[in-house]
Structure 1
């Protein structure tokens, strides 16, 4: 399916997506916050990153994302700059400004992390991204960096509750577009199965 997905999900599909894709993980302080770049809902992503910093959930952060059409600044520059403006220390934010997709976010960031911190010194990572992309962030990270513990935090600006994503046409389109990528991406080796046990939407994640 392409990003123009307009099909309606079946009841079974809604249940599977809520249980398997839109997962929430128990959250505890991590060594690293991995902020995946975006052009949508930038403000809510920045606010969540800053909340996590204020509440002591990470020691280091990496923001990854290149220049997208229509912008002179990279996603990295926009998001990292906004985080610093809201109080996250600039010297704890690592930057990757070439990636054009989720795979490149991870592939291009790993050498930066190795040089700055040493991958062996990072034991836990919180992935921060869009709700609809959901587990594909840590699945991508797991493909290239299986050793590290992964947690997931997702945000969006939809008024629709997450569990009712299928009742909002645009929310549904975005979720289905991402859900349809999972199996083909696994088959092509872009992502790896994760997690061993996660919490579906509607189940209570610990924060």
Structure 2
């Protein structure tokens, strides 16, 4: 069983302890002896020259991941409120919105295999999280994932131009229209913290003058602590994603990108607290 040093080292190496502010060096006789990074007013990470890493101070108020419990609670508030939790409805097509999280493609594929819709569409070229990292459009990567899970190739439509959420919705609609595929009900699939934003974008960007289309937004089933992995980033990255998503929900209606979605004062309080703790929106 790993000791406390190994646990802290593991937490730092996997990114569970985020480095937020600019690091500084503390000088010893002749040369720097250790590297200090302040996480927030409560936590500091110290890296020795020999590679050992530990936090100072570590109190009973810290989460096992290295995040102080207040920040973890504020992150949980954002996670819970950015999700919609809409019930699934049998639909005409499942639309997977491209991103850097393969679990979105897996969720969409599993919905198809569970007979929630007879057709799939993946939309996405390269976006802010995949540009420079993936050498193929997000739609192609997602389709390959779905086929490996058992979805027939001829049941997948690809849209390879979209580079953001608004274009995902616009171009998905255009693609279905060009192919002469009528839809009355759709299932939109994205990451959990994107559910509110995707729905607000759909209401603005999907033409509403062509008859009523019912949309349901869903995402991979997971809890806050399940999100971080080597492909999508650590807990610090997730908090940055959620802060940025909330800012877009707040600011984008005025730009005409999505409809207004009201959020509770509790959500914006958590947002402010995380900013004060040093977390940065992405």
Normalising by structure 1, report the TM-score.
0.75
The equivalent of 2:187 in structure 1 is: 126
Number of aligned residues: 181
Compare 22-31 and 169-178 and name the one that shifted more: 169-178
Higher RCO, 1 or 2 (CA under 8 Å, sep at least 6)?
Answer: 1
- Structure-1 separation of matches of 2:105 and 2:83: 20
- The residue that corresponds to 1:115 in the other structure is 178
Deviations 1:99-134 (A, max 9, x none): 11111112222221102234xx21111110111222
Determine the C-alpha separation between the residues in 2 that align with 1:139 and 1:192: 5
Task: Measure the CA separation in 2 of the matches of 1:154 and 1:193.
Answer: 21
TM (norm. structure 2) is 0.56
Measured in 1, the distance between the counterparts of 2:261 and 2:177 equals: 23
Give how far 1:35 is off.
0.4
Counterpart selection for 2:205 from 144, 159, 176:
144
Aligned position for 2:162: 99
Higher Rg of the two aligned structures: 2
1:30 alignment partner, SS class:
coil
Q: How much is the aligned-residue C-alpha RMSD, in angstroms?
A: 3.0
Unaligned runs of 5+ in 1: 163-167, 196-207
SS in 2 for 1:62: strand
Partner of 2:84: 23
Partner of 1:192: 259
Equivalent of residue 237 in structure 2, options 142, 159, 170:
170
C-alpha distance in 1 between matches for 2:199 and 2:224: 25
The residue that corresponds to 1:201 in the other structure is none
